[in-house]
Structure 1
C-alpha cells in the first residue's frame, strides 16, 4: 500500500458538507454512500451533531423535568453510538494500514501485525477524527455568532477571534492525523482500537440499574 487510507482535508470536507445540509443531522445515515471509511466518518459526525443538539436542549430552564430527562437519555444513547462509530473507523484504518489481522479486527482480541520497533501512539486515528468532528461543530456554531445581527460589534469581533483559534486547532488536529497515518503506513507507529466499555449504559454493569432490576424481581 502506497497511499494513506484518508487525509485530513477529506475529513474536513466530509464534516463541512454535512453541516452545509439544511436538514442536518436529520435521519441517521445507515446506507453507505461511497467508501466505507467515509461512511463511518459521516456516521460519527451524525452522532456528534445529534449529541450537540441534545446538549443544548438539556440546558433549557422553562421546560418540564421529564423533557430534560429525555434529553439526558438521548445524550447517553448518542454518546455510545459516537464511540461505537469511532471504534469502527479505527478498525477500518488499522486493517487498511495492515496493522491488524482483518478477520479479528472487530473482536475484543484483534491479532496485531505491527512491525517490530514501531512506537505505540496513545491516541487513535479514529479519536483524532472524532475530535475533528467536534471542532467542525464548534467552528460552525462560532461562525454563526459572527453573523448575528441581534448582538453588538464587540460580540461579533470576539467571536471572529475565537473562530480563527478554532480553525487553527482543527488544522493542528488534521496535521497530527496525517502524521500518525503516514508513520503507521511507514511502519514507524501504530495505534489500537480501545473499547470504551461505557458501563453506565450497560444494565449488566451499572450498579443503579442492577439494583432497580433486583428490586423488581
Structure 2
C-alpha cells in the first residue's frame, strides 16, 4: 500500500529531524535519488522544517528584523513545498501514463500528491500531539486533552490512508484519471505581483 510506505518514510524524516531539532541542520536523505522514497523524505523534511519555522515566528519576543528574515524563509519554503507536490504528481502521471481511463471515468478533487501532502502534515501533527500528550511537565488536564486530540488524529490517519489507496487503485483501474494543475502562485512572481513589478521600474 502506497500510503503505508509513505507514512513510514514521513515518520523516519520526522525522527531524523528531531535528533538535532534545528531548522538549520542539513538534510541527510537516506534514500537513493532514483527511489520514490527519496521524494517522500524530501517532501516531509521541507514540511518539518517549516513546521518549526511557524513555531519560532510566533514567539512574542522575536526581534522584528529576525521575524522578517524568517517570514522570507517561510515564503520560500511554501514555494518549495508546492514545487515538490507538483514534482511528485509528475511521478504519478508517468507511473499511470499507460492507463486508459474507462468511459465515464471521473477526476478526483485533489491529485495524489496533494493527498500525500495532507498525510505528511498529519504525521507531523501526530508526532507533536503525542509529545504534548506525554509531556511530564504539563498538567494532567493538558495531557488528557491532547490524548483526546491525538486519538482523533490517528483516526484521520486511517481514513486518509484508506482514501489515498482507494484513489490510486481507482486510477490504476481506469475508474478515475488525474491531471496536474500548476499552482501558478502570483505573489512570488516578479511579473505577476504588482508590488514586485512596480518596484522593478
Q: Does 1:199 align with 2:147?
A: no
Give unmatched runs, 5+ long, in structure 2: none
Alignment correspondent of 2:84 = 85
The question of whether the paired residues in 2 share the 8 Å contact of 1:51 and 1:75 is answered with yes
Shift in alpha-carbon separation, 1:180–1:99, aligned structure 2, 3 A:
farther
Aligned counterpart in structure 2 of residue 147 of structure 1, from 113, 120, 134? 134
Structure 1 segments, 4+ long, off by >4 Å, are: 29-32
More divergent stretch after superposition (49-58 vs 129-138) = 49-58
Alignment correspondent of 2:20 = 23
Deviation by residue 1:122-153 (Cα, 9 ceiling, x = unmatched): 11000000000000111111010012122111
**TM-score using structure 1 length:** 0.84
**TM-score using structure 2 length:** 0.90
Q: Distance in 1 between matches of 2:39 and 2:13?
A: 13
The question of whether the paired residues in 2 share the 8 Å contact of 1:143 and 1:160 is answered with yes
- What is the CA distance between 1:210 and its match in structure 2? 1.1
Q: Distance in 1 between matches of 2:87 and 2:102?
A: 22
Alignment correspondent of 1:213 = 200
Over the aligned positions, Cα root-mean-square deviation in angstroms equals 1.9
Q: Distance in 1 between matches of 2:50 and 2:182?
A: 20
Q: Does 1:9 align with 2:9?
A: no
Shift in alpha-carbon separation, 1:34–1:200, aligned structure 2, 3 A:
closer
Aligned counterpart in structure 2 of residue 179 of structure 1, from 166, 184, 188? 166
Q: Distance in 2 between matches of 1:63 and 1:51?
A: 17
The question of whether the paired residues in 2 share the 8 Å contact of 1:99 and 1:114 is answered with no
Q: Distance in 2 between matches of 1:210 and 1:75?
A: 21
The question of whether the paired residues in 1 share the 8 Å contact of 2:101 and 2:175 is answered with no
Q: Distance in 2 between matches of 1:23 and 1:194?
A: 36
